[in-house]
Amino acid sequence: MISYDYQNTYLREYLERCKDIVTVPGNSKVLISQSKLVIVNYLSTAYLEALISDVPTVFFWNKESYFLDDKYSDFYDLLISVGICQTDPVKAANFIDIIADCAEDWWLSDSVRKARNSFLSVNFGEPQKMVDYLIELARL
């Protein structure tokens, strides 16, 4: 079993170079909305929340541990083509290094907008309908 101290042990040299790391529990939607670039290191709800929130987002998909059924093999292709979804950790780090200071420009480029919107449309329908639905649920 790996303890939570692994971050301090194995990642120390990398963590020291980070400007800010949020590791406290809290409302992820609030943290996402306050971010200039969201980086998600595994497939989780966080990358979907960030995409729906329309905040510059890069997430990592490890094909070796998160398998897709053959009929869904192209599920992330559009997101991969524009850099939102990364499949190689070294290339992901290099990509993030390139866009970190201009994440909004990258995020607002035509190709990224089209890929994001298409992914959300195919998988969730109209994003505003989902947002409205979730707000309505929160009021109940």
Query: What size, in residues, is the chain?
Result: 140
pLDDT at res. 123 = 81
pLDDT at res. 95 = 95
Range of the domain at 65: 19-139
pLDDT at res. 112 = 97
For residue 104, being part of any structural domain is answered with: yes
- Residue 33 CA to residue 77 CA, distance in Å, equals 26
pLDDT at res. 32 = 83
**Mean pLDDT for all residues in the chain:** 81
State which amino acid sits at residue 35. S
Burial of 54 (0-12, 13-18, 19+ CB in 10 A): middle
The count of structural domains within the chain is: 1
For residue 10, being part of any structural domain is answered with: no
- Residue 91 CA to residue 82 CA, distance in Å, equals 13
Under a CB-based contact definition with an 8 Å cutoff, are residues 61 and 87 in contact? yes
**Helix (H) or strand (E) run with residue 114 in it:** helix 110-124
For residue 95, being part of any structural domain is answered with: yes
Q: Where are the beta strands (DSSP E) in the chain?
A: 38-40, 57-60, 85-86
For residue 49, being part of any structural domain is answered with: yes
Q: Residue 1 — pLDDT band, cuts 50, 70, 90?
A: very low
* 3-class state of residue 26 by DSSP: coil
Residue 132 tokens read as 């409205």
For residue 11, being part of any structural domain is answered with: no
For residue 115, being part of any structural domain is answered with: yes
pLDDT in tens, 44-103: 888 899 999 999 999 998 777 767 777 766 788 999 999 999 999 899 999 999 999 999
For residue 113, being part of any structural domain is answered with: yes
**Helix (H) or strand (E) run with residue 45 in it:** helix 45-53
For residue 32, being part of any structural domain is answered with: yes
Q: Answer yes or no: is pLDDT of 3 > 70.
A: no
User: Who wins on pLDDT, 21 or 61?
Assistant: 61
State which amino acid sits at residue 98. I
User: Who wins on pLDDT, 36 or 62?
Assistant: 36
